[in-house]
Amino acid sequence: MSKIEKVTVLGAGVLGAQIAWHTAYKGKSVVVYDILAEALERCRSAHEQYAEIYGKDVGASAADIAATRSRLRYSADLADAVGKADLVIEAVPEVPAIKTDVYQKMAPLLQPHTLIATNSSTLLARDFAAATGRPDKYCAMHYANLIWIMNVIEVMAHPQTSRETLREATRFAIETGMVPIPVRKEQNGYVLNTWFVPLITAAQTLVTNGISTPEDVDRTYLKVNAGASMGPMALIDMVGMKTFFDVLSYWGQANRDQQMLDNAAYVKAHFLDKGLLGTGTGEGYYKYPNPAFRQKDFLAVPDLSKVDDIVAQMMPIV
């Protein structure tokens, strides 16, 4: 068994909220921290949705849900949130300056034994190890979205991570019902996002450049990946527009990739500026809870009466 009983999740966004709920459901005491009161309120609302989901899809009883709620606490005070933690899981925005600032402020507030893990989806732990003040007790633990279904944690070391930290991280993953995926070498994007980010970026490029509609991108994906429940555009909604924008902006600038920057600008103009953040706000590329891609006719062969409408999309407007 691990020595981790008290967990703090830094960041009450989409994945932070999922990590917190699932970890509490698995028996750990959890504090959710966010600097924004409204983010904590959104997290509380998300947890009510997860209570229903876990009852329906995971088989949680009313007693299980009540116990999960009893293990959760929410705080906008960093010292209060992390002071008694055995493990702090950082899930703040994918912006290096924000992560560094949080680590530096948190460092003097922790107990000597406390471990820290970053849930960063594309950044390396080594880039923030010094800021933590305890590089040997720091590693990456990257969760997949929809944690109750896609129950994996990618565990990755940086050069100063101790073997015992990795043991504890792996034990914790297993104790909380996750499949630990060992990342054998440092890699931006780990295993999952090394293939996932190019997929959703390519899909976004098709939309940004006017080559395809979001619906047709997803139709092609779902047709050739029989059994898949979502296409790339729906997956972007699930990831969340803010996270997607942060990834596009950072790597667009880092790699001087104009297409990624164009994609970021598209996401900002069409979604962020309108307050549409994806599934978390009920609308992104699709409207939830009944998105078009779940309709019975989404993948159906169209009626012949639709031919002219389809052809019109192929011809440039004169």
- Domain boundary assignment for the chain: 6-182, 192-305
Residue 113 contacts residue 5 (beta carbons within 8 Å) = no
pLDDT over threshold 90, residue 5: yes
Q: Region 66-75: what's the mean pLDDT?
A: 98
CATH H-level, domain 6-182: superfamily: NAD(P)-binding Rossmann-like Domain (3.40.50.720)
DSSP 281: G
pLDDT range class, residue 28, cuts 50, 70, 90: very high
Share of the chain above pLDDT 70, in %: 99
6-182 and 192-305: identical CATH topology: no
Other residues' Cβ atoms within 10 Å of the Cβ of residue 289? 9
pLDDT > 90 in the chain, percent: 93
Q: What are phi and psi of 313, to 5 degrees?
A: -75, -15
Mean pLDDT on 1-24 = 95
pLDDT at position 2 is 85
Q: Are the CB atoms for 34 and 40 separated by under 8 Å?
A: yes
pLDDT in tens, 264-317: 999 999 999 999 999 989 999 999 999 999 999 999 999 999 999 989 888 865
H or E element: which one contains 53? helix 37-53
* pLDDT above 60 (res 318): no
* pTM (global) more than 0.95: no
Superfamily of the domain at 192-305: N-(1-d-carboxylethyl)-l-norvaline Dehydrogenase; domain 2 (1.10.1040.10)
- Residue 149 in this model has a pLDDT that exceeds 70: yes
Query: pLDDT by residue (tens digit) across 199-230?
Result: 999 999 999 999 999 999 999 999 999 899 99
Q: Give the list of residues 6+ apart from residue 11 with CB closer than 8 angstroms, or none.
A: 33, 34, 90, 91, 92, 93, 119
At residue 268, the pLDDT reads 98
